[in-house]
């Protein structure tokens, strides 16, 4: 005959069972605040139970999820379980906004307040943003602003809606130092386009990386069906529904160029260059100069702070075909010399250099080298409209109205972005470079401004966009007899030939006569 256990023994055994099994603890004792049903026990669905076990078994977990699957609540329950049964367990919740992070702490508080007395921790601190127990364990909520994750050793870092967190790359870099003593991390989010840290973490996790991947599609929820999914499309629209429901990185996000179009480019045009030239191997060529065609070289100049790159494209003007590209870190003098050499070889191409900041130094080199087919801009923003050119008939040879180079301003930038959107939507440009496509994956709408996601660069994107605007405007103006350069757009000198060895470099721009017996030799730039 079994010996009847005392109440003290029953509680002791149950406490032990809770400490060993988070699923048991949460299913039997955690009460949640349901938005429509009020307070109720958190009866875990099978996919939630499976997710909880996988989180508890892995130090790092990345969760790609559909909306409203209760995963934030699940994470709150897991955090509370750790705080109760571990001493000095420090949980930090970071989200896009403080209210979002605070919401997870609130879920922890509701669960804790409704536990039986023998399970509760002794509370030392309880406010909207934090909860701390006598055993030293605590949870704190902060937004992504400030020095998030830098100050203290963490047991668990929760990045809620990680794909939408500003400066998440910096936050994760800083947090890794605080997790070095054995802490873990949970990164959870719906998708928000490709190229951001959440997307990269997910891709790396699927390939067997540091994080354990957990994918939670809307179909896992037993109370949802196709009718529910159709309703989400009606309520949210196709793009937002894809983001919130389908766990689809490609169709989600707010990229300037839609993900499916970029994917189409990857499958259709992207290829390895025929040659990788330059002293750094970053001058890539997919074709060689054809002397029956016109080309444009469009250059963006690095700011000089080491945070971005100098970049240029060579575009076959009529067909918008990318035939060459450079992206690298190079000195101002060398970059100016390289641009003139490249433009000279590509049939004395129209050379367009963005004139912001240090761009003036590069432009001066082109002027000093007497490069004749250099692009000029009007000094006044109003003159960027080709219709004004056509209506007023301004003479671009009047240098009193002009400045060398292309001026990116509050007026011209939206025009450039518009060209990018339009031409890529129509799939008109022929793009060969994966570097350019990769930048477009992280080139997004940030409010009303189009720019690279924080931590990424848009040097190739903006220079190519300038090329699209120049091409469109230049061709139209040229038809009306108005030229954007010192030379007519269609008047191109002939070069000696494609450089393949030192013998045919003369006349291509890679060697200039200095007036002495020797030449100014730039062949080191392409070795």
Retrieve residue 462's tokens.
Answer: 């903006």
Check pLDDT > 80 for residue 504.
no
Confidence of residue 522 (pLDDT cuts 50, 70, 90): low
SS3 sequence, 2-43?
Answer: CCCCCHHHHHHHHHHHHHHCHHHHHHHHCEEEECCCEEEECC
What is d(CA 349, CA 317) in angstroms, rounded to the nearest whole number?
9
Quote the CA–CA distance of 83 and 80 in Å, as a whole number. Answer: 5
Nearest Cα neighbor of 248 from 163, 203, 191 is 191
Mean pLDDT across 434-446: 88
Whether residue 231 contacts residue 406, with contact meaning beta carbons closer than 8 Å, is answered with no
State mean pLDDT over 252-257. Answer: 78
How large is the average pLDDT for residues 318-335? 93
Average pLDDT over residues 3-20: 89
∠ CA(451), CA(454), CA(459), 5° rounding?
Answer: 50
Cα–Cα distance for residue pair 527/524, rounded to 1 Å: 5
Token pair recorded at residue 257: 């160029």
What is the C-alpha to C-alpha distance for residues 363 and 369, in angstroms, rounded to an integer? Answer: 10
| pLDDT-derived band at 500, boundaries 50, 70, 90 | very low
* Per-residue pLDDT at 385: 54
Rounded-to-integer distance, Cα 526 and Cα 381, Å: 37
pLDDT higher than 60, residue 505 = no
pLDDT of residue 375: 86
Q: Which residues pair with 298 in a beta bridge?
A: 313, 352
Per-residue confidence band for 318, with pLDDT thresholds at 50, 70 and 90:
confident
Q: Tell me how far CA of residue 177 lies from CA of 149, 166, 185, 196, 509, in angstroms.
A: 9, 19, 12, 21, 50
**Strand positions, DSSP E, 301-410:** 310-316, 321-328, 350-353, 376-378, 402-404
Contact 64, 202 (CB under 8 A): yes
Going by C-alpha positions, the residue among 525, 507, 505 that lies closest to residue 283 is 525
User: How do strand 402-404 and strand 376-378 relate by DSSP bridges?
Assistant: antiparallel
In this prediction, residue 171 carries a pLDDT of 87
Measure the CA–CA gap between 232 and 415, rounded to whole angstroms. 34
Amino acid 465: pLDDT? 94
Query: Which one, of 306, 314, 312, 358, lies nearest residue 332 by Cα?
Result: 358
| pLDDT of res. 516 | 46
Q: For 342-360, how does the pLDDT look when each residue is reduced to its tens digit (9 = 90+)? A: 999 999 998 999 988 788 8
- Model-level pTM? 0.65
**What mean pLDDT is predicted for residues 473-483?**
58
3-state secondary structure of 261: helix
CA dihedral 338, 489, 290, 430 (to 10 degrees): 90
Per the CB < 8 A criterion, the answer to whether 508 and 496 are in contact is yes
Q: What is the mean pLDDT of residues 208-221?
A: 94
158-200 confidence digits (pLDDT tens): 999 998 887 888 888 888 888 888 899 999 999 888 778 898 8
Provide the pLDDT for residue 39. Answer: 87
Domain range summary for the chain, segments of one domain joined by +: 7-245, 276-416+458-488
Q: What is the mean pLDDT of residues 287-308?
A: 85
The residue that leads in pLDDT, 143 or 514, is 143
How far is the C-alpha of 116 from the C-alpha of 118, rounded, in Å?
Answer: 6
Tokens 């006349």 map to which residue?
507
The CATH number of 276-416+458-488, from 3.65.10.10, 1.10.3720.10, 3.20.20.70, 3.30.420.240, is: 3.30.420.240
Whether 390 shows a pLDDT value over 50: the answer reads no
Q: Looking at the predicted structure, is the pLDDT value of residue 304 above 80?
A: no
More confident residue, 287 or 101: 287
Sort 316 into a burial class: Cβ within 10 Å, 0-12 / 13-18 / 19+.
buried
Coil vs helix vs strand at 513: strand
Tokens (6 digits) for 479? 């038809």
Q: Which overall architecture, per CATH, does domain 7-245 show?
A: 3-Layer(aba) Sandwich (3.40)
Contact 215, 185 (CB under 8 A): no
pLDDT single digits (tens) 143-153:
876 455 555 68
Q: For residue 105, what pLDDT band results from cuts at 50, 70 and 90?
A: very high
Could you tell me if 164 and 155 are in contact, meaning their C-beta atoms sit under 8 angstroms apart? no
Please report the pLDDT score of residue 4 as a whole number: 80
Share of the chain above pLDDT 70, in %: 82
Average pLDDT, the chain: 83
* CA–CA dist 170, 161 (Å, integer): 16
């Amino acid at each position: 005959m079994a010996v009847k256990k005392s109440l003290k023994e029953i509680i002791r055994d149950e406490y032990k069972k809770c400490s060993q099994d988070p699923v048991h603890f949460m299913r039997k004792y955690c009460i949640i605040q349901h938005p429509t049903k009020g307070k109720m026990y958190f009866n875990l669905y099978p996919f939630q139970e499976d997710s909880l076990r996988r989180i508890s078994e892995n130090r790092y977990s990345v969760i790609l999820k559909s909306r409203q699957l209760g995963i934030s609540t699940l994470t709150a329950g897991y955090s509370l379980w750790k705080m109760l049964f571990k001493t000095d367990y420090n949980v930090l919740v970071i989200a896009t906004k403080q209210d979002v992070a605070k919401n997870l702490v609130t879920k922890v508080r509701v669960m804790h307040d409704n536990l039986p007395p023998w399970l509760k921790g002794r509370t030392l601190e309880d406010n909207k943003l934090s909860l701390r127990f006598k055993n030293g364990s605590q949870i704190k909520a902060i937004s992504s602003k400030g020095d998030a994750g830098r100050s203290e050793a963490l047991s668990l870092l929760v990045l809620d809606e990680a794909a939408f967190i500003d400066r998440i790359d910096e936050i994760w870099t800083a947090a890794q130092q605080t997790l070095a003593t054995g802490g873990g991390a949970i990164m959870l989010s719906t998708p928000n386009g490709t190229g951001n840290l959440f997307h990269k973490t997910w891709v790396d996790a699927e390939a067997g990386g540091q994080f354990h991947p957990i994918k939670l599609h809307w179909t896992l929820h037993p109370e949802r069906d196709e009718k529910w999914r159709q309703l989400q499309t009606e309520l949210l629209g196709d793009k937002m529904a894809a983001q919130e429901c389908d766990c689809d990185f490609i169709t989600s996000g707010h990229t300037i160029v839609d993900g499916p179009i970029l994917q189409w480019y990857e499958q259709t045009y992207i290829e390895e260059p025929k040659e990788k030239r330059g002293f750094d191997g970053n001058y890539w060529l997919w074709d060689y100069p054809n002397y029956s065609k016109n080309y444009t070289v469009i250059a963006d100049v690095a700011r000089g702070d080491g945070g971005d790159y100098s970049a240029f494209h060579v575009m076959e003007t009529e067909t918008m075909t990318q035939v060459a590209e450079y992206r690298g870190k190079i000195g101002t003098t060398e970059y100016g010399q390289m641009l003139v050499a490249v433009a000279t070889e590509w049939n004395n191409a129209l050379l367009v250099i963005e004139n912001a900041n240090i761009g003036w130094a590069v432009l001066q080199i082109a002027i000093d080298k007497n490069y004749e087919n250099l692009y000029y801009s009007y000094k006044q923003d109003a003159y960027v409209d080709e219709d004004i050119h056509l209506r007023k008939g301004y003479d671009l040879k009047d240098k009193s109205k002009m400045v060398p180079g292309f001026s990116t301003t509050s007026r011209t930038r939206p025009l450039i972005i518009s060209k990018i959107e339009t031409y890529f939507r129509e799939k008109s440009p022929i793009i060969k470079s994966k570097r350019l496509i990769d930048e477009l994956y992280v080139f997004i709408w940030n409010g009303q401004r189009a720019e690279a996601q924080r931590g990424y660069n848009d040097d190739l994107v903006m220079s190519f966009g300038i090329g699209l605007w120049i091409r469109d405007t230049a061709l139209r103006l040229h038809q009306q007899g108005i030229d954007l350069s010192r030379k007519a757009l269609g008047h191109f000198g002939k070069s000696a030939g494609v450089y393949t060895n030192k013998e045919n470099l003369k006349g291509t721009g890679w060697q200039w006569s200095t007036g002495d017996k020797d030449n100014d030799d730039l062949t080191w730039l392409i070795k």
